[in-house]
Amino acid sequence: MHPFLSRAITPLDYLRRRWKRIAPITIIASAGIPLLCDHHIASSAKGRCHTDLDEIGDQPLALLLGTAREFNGARNGFYTKRIEAAAALFESGKVRGILASGDNGRSGYDEPSDMKADLVAAGVPEEFITLDYAGFRTRDSIVRAKKVFGQTKLIIVSQRFHAERALYIAQELGVEARAFIAADPVSRASNARVRAREILARTMAVADSFIDRQPKFLGKPELVALRD
């Protein structure tokens, strides 16, 4: 007899018993899958993250991944260190141009223009900075670097936690990439919060790869400006 037809067991009792059996498996899977994705992405980036300019080969273009210039009313340390790293990469001659890709999706918020202004202030000539205003997500930035800006070889600039995910995405999309790692801010509490969010972001990156998620906005092909 089906449990629902038994007078001794109501449908609610049945569901409770079933839940007690599957709850531990559900909890383990919920925790385990993000950790597996995190490990997989970190492993896939091994040997492709560099902190020394002498160790990284030349490429035509650096992809500078955007973030907010300010956070909670103060200068965002992650942003500042990315600008410094991208400027050092250009000054060293390792790249001939910079593609600054970020979010410009709402009024008064413009990551690419902020990055350009600060790169120029750091000594990068304005004419060799190309802006991507539709880098709403990391995957969008890399897809657009390939499909809109025609680049299949990149040096990605961001902090290690972010660069590893970007390298995984680039590999999945057939883009040859290495990363120049920007320093982390000194705040350990801030870094811990970012690291926790990154585990979830890596899980989404793997899911996006499976479904081949497309950018929010693609648009027409554009040229990048490169130094001779």
Domain coordinates in residue numbering, the chain: 49-211
pLDDT digits (tens, 9 = 90+) for 83-93: 999 999 999 99
Tokens of 138: 């990391």
In this prediction, residue 105 carries a pLDDT of 81
pLDDT at 8: 60
Identify the pLDDT of residue 129: 98
pLDDT of residue 16: 60
Alpha carbon dihedral 195, 151, 127, 109, in 10-degree steps, equals -40
Task: Specify the pLDDT at position 190.
Answer: 62
Summarize the chain as % helix, strand, coil (round to 5): 50, 15, 35
Q: Residue 122 has what pLDDT?
A: 97
Mind listing the pLDDT tens digit of every residue in the chain (228 residues)? Answer: 444 444 566 666 655 666 556 555 555 455 678 888 999 999 999 999 999 999 999 999 999 999 999 988 889 999 999 999 999 999 999 999 999 999 998 888 999 999 999 999 999 999 999 999 999 999 999 999 999 999 999 999 999 999 999 999 999 999 999 999 999 887 655 667 788 889 989 999 999 999 999 998 888 999 999 998
- State the pLDDT at residue 81: 96
- Which among 200, 171, 224 has a CA at the least distance from the CA of 64? 224
What pLDDT shows up at residue 66? 95
- Which one is the CATH code of 49-211: 3.40.50.620, 3.40.50.300, 2.170.190.11, 3.90.1170.50? 3.40.50.620
Residue type, 24: P
Judge residue 25's burial from the number of C-beta atoms within 10 Å of its C-beta, 0-12 exposed, 13-18 middle, 19 or more buried. Answer: exposed
pTM: 0.84
The contacts of residue 132 (CB under 8 Å, 6+ apart) are 99, 100, 101, 102, 112, 141, 144, 145, 148, 149
21-30, pLDDT tens digit by residue?
655 555 545 5
